[in-house]
Amino acid sequence: MNGAPFIGQYWRNRLTSRTAWRVHGAGLVLAVVAGAALHGAGPDPAAGPVHDSARFSPLADITRENVAGLTAAWTYHTGDFSGGHGPTPTGQVPGVQTRPVFADGRVYVTTPSSIVIAIDGDTGREDWRYDPQAGADARCYEPHRGVALWTGPGPPAEPTIFSGTCDGRLVALDAEHGRLRPAFGVAGVLDLRPGVDVRTGEAYAITSPPAIWRDLVIVGGLVPEGTPRGPAGDVRAFDVRTGQERWRFHTVPRPGEAGHDTWSADGWQRRTGANVWSSMSVDDDRGLVFLPIGSPSYDFFGGDRPGQNLFGNSLVALDAATGHRRWHAQLVHHDPPAQPVLADIPHAGGMRAVVIQVTKMGLVFVFDRTTGEPVFGIEERAVPPSDVPGEQAWPTQPFPLKPPPLSRHAPLTRDDLTTVTVESRRECDALFAKVRSGGLYTPPGRELTLSFPGTMGGATWSGAAVDPGSAYLIVNTNEIGAMGQMVPQQAGAALPFGRSSPAGAYGRFWDSQHLPCQKPPWGLLHAVDLSTGTIAWQVPLGDVPVLAARGITGTGAPNLGGAIVSAGGLVFIGGASDSRFRAFDLRTGRELWRADLPASGHATPLSYRGRSGRQFVVIAAGGGGRFSDTISDAIVAFGLPLPR
């Protein structure tokens, strides 16, 4: 964070021409769907391919006119982590956050202990399951966000499911039967831990879907955030058939590599963090893979790593065949938490291929996909310094000229505090009296500091969606501040200072009922017009159950879990911590439908057409995590009523 400043330039390697090539098969074809080009009626045929990262469904059976008739078609219970297990090592109780994958009539999902399950998409019946921890004396749990599907060309003849585990392995499964592919790794399993120097007692997990390009499966990893030294956050590509490593990208450059000079003499050595814990995106035609790389660790103190700290806090474009860097942009401070979104947007009288990165700061960065040039411009602005001894925060940070910020950035004042209830205002007044109020990029100081947005502000790992017809970017955000201060550590500690907060590990600025301390809205759903870089609409997302019970609604709610858009002109999203699933009008942001879920849908939904021809929308309703006390193991599918 504080030790990873922005590079005011975009490093590029010379681009080489490539023959366009595309994987064909269920789940990987990037098809152009013909249709009208206005607000969700279908993408413009001239707009280029619709990438999977855009989370756009070309299905249009469910429309604005009939969405109110959606009902639950089936509910499947995974049987994993329905409330009977303890929290993860980070202290969170993980619900089900999987983003389903659909192919050949099946929905593939994962669970917090890394079980992979195939479900019949029409009936919700389990076809098979694979448990990578079967027979283990103790099980690990982490939020798990799904699988990747490789479809060939063979051998093997059948598609292969790739999924990571919470104990740092990558498994390859026959998609038809759920059996391990014996030729991959050791009997179908590849242990990723030795390759990144994971030592006894250190955590390393694969919790997001790998990326697939041709015959490569590309993985990042979840590494420690609370200690400066530990496993490497390297990104690696493996042969999909054998598991042999084909290339590796050092996210912390080694001696002789570009960017190594942005680290101090020993600051780079065994530096953990700087990892891709979220999802990557692949441009098949251009042969590019886009990496949202997080912060070097330790997150809250950078005194032991002065310098620019590449490639931390960066969006990096790699040659997918070789792992060579094509370009990068360092975004800084908080890590880019979400999968980069690939889209083709109207710009300067033509269509421009772009990659969009949403951030926890509520900033939206839009880059030319090939060159890394900012589409709407970026400027450096002065930001507050650090007052922690031994630490030098970079004096400026990058701000896109467009789109405007999706989260408030100014320091909060007492006038900004909540008035939703008398009780909440009283608690928040007392908290506010203890803090030094700061805005965006205010480092935690030696006195208790309030920064806004906080570590769970802005956009989160759930990312964004793009409608190719309207060029609307749909993204949900949180409005939550964070309190913290840097305190001296005991002699012999890894670092001289560590972060402390009276409100728990992440120091949320909320009251005892977890109501944010500033005035609502606390959760928002946005539509950004990418053709102009302007906001098309913004609406509150969700309600807070304890307030709704008192008749107080429209506040928006803390949320985790992203949106999808459909050719029926709809936005589907769970996300909010009120255990509801919603559909919004893509044109206006008006809520058109909602349904109750067993727990909050802290996951990204999926729409698909089953073998029966019926369009479904499915979401994992697991709750848990940082915002929900209710936990479930449910996967719920909705559809229009069948004709009588």
Q: Which residue in this structure is represented by tokens 């880059």?
A: 367
CA-to-CA distance for 7 and 10, rounded, in angstroms? 7
Q: Which two three-digit tokens encode residue 572?
A: 């589907």
- Lowest pLDDT segment from 276-290, 330-344, 533-547, 567-581: 330-344
Q: What would the mean pLDDT of 83-89 be, rounded to a whole number? A: 44
Q: Which residue in this structure is represented by tokens 């659909």?
A: 102
What's the distance, Cα to Cα, between the start and end of the chain in Å?
59
Segment 584-639, tens digit of pLDDT: 999 999 999 999 999 999 999 999 999 999 999 999 999 877 777 788 999 999 99
Q: Which two three-digit tokens encode residue 338?
A: 């979400």
Quick check: 86 pLDDT over 70? Answer: no
CA-to-CA distance for 491 and 280, rounded, in angstroms? 40
Which amino acid belongs to residue 204?
Answer: Y
User: Is 244 in contact with 238 (CB distance < 8 Å)?
Assistant: yes
Q: What is the pLDDT of residue 281?
A: 97
Reported confidence tier of residue 57, pLDDT bands at 50, 70, 90: very high
pLDDT, greater one: 266 or 35: 266
CA-to-CA distance for 448 and 444, rounded, in angstroms? 7
User: Is 453 in contact with 439 (CB distance < 8 Å)?
Assistant: no
User: Is 248 in contact with 269 (CB distance < 8 Å)?
Assistant: no
CA-to-CA distance for 479 and 477, rounded, in angstroms? 7
Q: What would the mean pLDDT of 87-96 be, rounded to a whole number? A: 55
- Give the containing element (helix H, strand E) for 547: helix 545-548
Q: What is the pLDDT of residue 306?
A: 87
Q: What is the pLDDT of residue 503?
A: 67
Q: Which residue in this structure is represented by tokens 């019926």?
A: 614
Q: What would the mean pLDDT of 525-541 be, rounded to a whole number? A: 98
Q: What is the pLDDT of residue 427?
A: 96
Q: Which residues contact 137 (CB under 8 A, 6 or more apart)?
A: none
Q: Which two three-digit tokens encode residue 642?
A: 């069948």
Q: Which residues contact 593 (CB under 8 A, 6 or more apart)?
A: 67, 68, 70, 582, 583
Quick check: 425 pLDDT over 80? Answer: yes
* Sign (positive or negative) of CA dihedral 625, 626, 629, 634: negative
Quick check: 312 pLDDT over 60? Answer: yes
Q: Which two three-digit tokens encode residue 153?
A: 């060309």
Q: What would the mean pLDDT of 162-168 be, rounded to a whole number? A: 97
Composition of the chain by helix, strand, coil, percent to 5: 5, 35, 60
CA-to-CA distance for 577 and 559, rounded, in angstroms? 6
Nearest CA to 476 among 571, 559, 580? Answer: 559
CA-to-CA distance for 370 and 541, rounded, in angstroms? 34
CA-to-CA distance for 421 and 32, rounded, in angstroms? 50
CA-to-CA distance for 145 and 564, rounded, in angstroms? 15
Backbone angles phi, psi at 626, to 5 degrees: -85, -15
Instruction: Provide the H-helix boundaries in 289-442.
Output: 422-432
User: Is 457 in contact with 557 (CB distance < 8 Å)?
Assistant: no
Quick check: 47 pLDDT over 70? Answer: no
Which amino acid belongs to residue 451?
Answer: S
Q: What would the mean pLDDT of 252-276 be, rounded to a whole number? A: 94
Segment 432-462, tens digit of pLDDT: 999 999 888 888 889 999 988 888 889 998 8
User: Is 502 in contact with 510 (CB distance < 8 Å)?
Assistant: no
pLDDT, greater one: 32 or 187: 187
Residues found in the chain: 644
CA-to-CA distance for 73 and 638, rounded, in angstroms? 5
Q: What is the pLDDT of residue 93?
A: 55
Q: What pTM, to 2 d.p., does this model score?
A: 0.91
SS3 assignment for 426-491 = HHHHHHHCCCEECCCCCCCECCCEEECCCCCCECCCCCEEEECCCCEEEEEEECCCEEEEEEECCC
